[in-house]
Amino acid sequence: MTLTDREIWTAAHGMVLGAGFLLLFSGTLAGLWALRPNLLTAAGARTVARLSGGAAWAMALLAFAAVFLGTYVIYPWYRAKPPANAAPEALSHYPKYLLLWRPETSGWHEFGMEWKEHVAWLAPILATAVAYCLTRLGAGLVDHPRVRRALLVLLTISFFCAAVAGALGALINKAAPMK
Amino acid sequence: MNDVREAIDMSESNPAEIPESAASATGAAWSAILAAAAGCAAIGILTLLTETWARASQLLTFNKSVGDLSGVTTLSILIWLFVWVLVHARWKNRAITASGRILAASLILILIGLLGTFPPIADWLAGL
């Protein structure tokens, strides 16, 4: 029962950073949704804005860490070229080529990885905008329902992008495990 | 912002009552929203470029082991930050009244980003 270096980094990417992002989304969403004058006292609005802002910054940091780790550490392992004339059984260390070698799994690369590797980058950008606005306006967001609603939309799209990337990553890793 | 905090302090135990003066400078927030959307659109457009034009893919390969994804994401981050700095400088002290139009523009830009990264769109464009 051991994990290789690559398996550890892949698990950190998906199960620590990715899962952390998805968990923090719930807290940030609940806080943003609650920042309304009819729901909170002034002190409550201040507390919720501070907590939501903290959660949103944590989301943004985790998302950036996940996409940088994914792009610059894990992705090069995934797309590494096997030696010329490599036997099919030797492809297990070259996930991209393992997927492409079998017609029934090629779609996991051509659709799954192609979408995942790009759409994931939208998540940290949108999460940063949400975090910045929560910090900048704080409890004042109670008085800016349009900004608050716009942030709810951005946050939800950010979650969608991270969820797509996370789900595809888990399925691709099942079809061609990173070893 | 200090006005807001003072006003909130005065109504500590009452439902959040924030004076009208607080409904002022939302420009910084809208600039962050619009810039983030521009960054998303940049990812979508650059992805489509690299998927449909081999020369663009070569030019955006900043890191050989990562491929053109390195250039797409680096340039997009730079575009996002550049737009943010630029728009923030213009809007930071403004009370934005055209928030509906900014939100619509932002959603269109984000949609461009989402569609640009969706592989069937690039496949369709490459086949034209």
Domain ranges of chain B: 26-126
- Check residue B98 and give its pLDDT: 87
- Minimal C-alpha gap between A1 and chain B (Å): 30
A106 touches chain B (CB under 8 A): no
Instruction: Look up the ipTM and state it.
Output: 0.92
pLDDT in tens, chain B (128 residues): 444 444 444 344 444 444 334 445 799 999 999 999 999 999 999 999 999 999 999 999 999 999 999 999 999 999 999 999 999 999 998 888 888 999 999 999 999 999 999 999 999 988 87
Q: A140 vs B12: CB contact, 8 Å cut-off? A: no
Confirm whether A95 is domain-assigned: yes
Chain B residues lying within 8 Å of A96, measured CB to CB: none
Query: What's the pTM value of the predicted model, to 2 decimals?
Result: 0.89
Residue A29 domain flag: yes
Range of the domain at A123: 5-79+90-146+162-175
* Average pLDDT of chain B, as a whole number: 85
In a domain, A84, yes or no: no
- Which residue numbers in chain A have pLDDT < 50? none
CB contact under 8 A, A40 and B15: yes
Q: Which residues in A64-77 are b (16+ Cβ under 10 Å) and which e? A: bbbbebbbebbbeb
Q: Which of A42, A132, A161 sits opposite B32 (nearest CB)?
A: A132
Q: Does A63 touch chain B (CB under 8 A)?
A: no
Measured between CA atoms, how close is B128 to chain A, in angstroms? 19
The domain total for chain A is: 1
Instruction: Give residue B24's pLDDT.
Output: 59
Would A155 be classed as within a structural domain?
A: no
Q: Residue B15 forms beta bridges with which residues?
A: A41
